[in-house]
Amino acid sequence: MARGDVHTRRRGAIWENTVEGRADLTRTFTTRVEALAAGRALAAGLARAHHLCDEPTVIGVETDDLRCPSSDEP
């Protein structure tokens, strides 16, 4: 993943958006839907990629999110 990319992942009971190299842009959400919408918007505003991490692929659901290669990524 590249510096500045946005990552959306579940952290226990919350959802979190992080930006590689920008801890000041980390935000948390109570729902997956909120986190994904905010992550997409943030990535678009930064002109960077948005990655959905640690979630299994759901058959039959289309998404424009990229899957993170490992669950231990910051």
* C-alpha gyration radius of the chain: 11
- Taking only the tens place, the pLDDT of each residue in 14-51 is 999 999 999 999 999 999 999 999 999 999 999 999 99
The tokens of 53 are what? 């991490």
DSSP code of 22?
A: -
pTM of the full structure: 0.73
pLDDT of residue 12: 87
**What are the residue ranges spanned by the domains of the chain?**
6-67
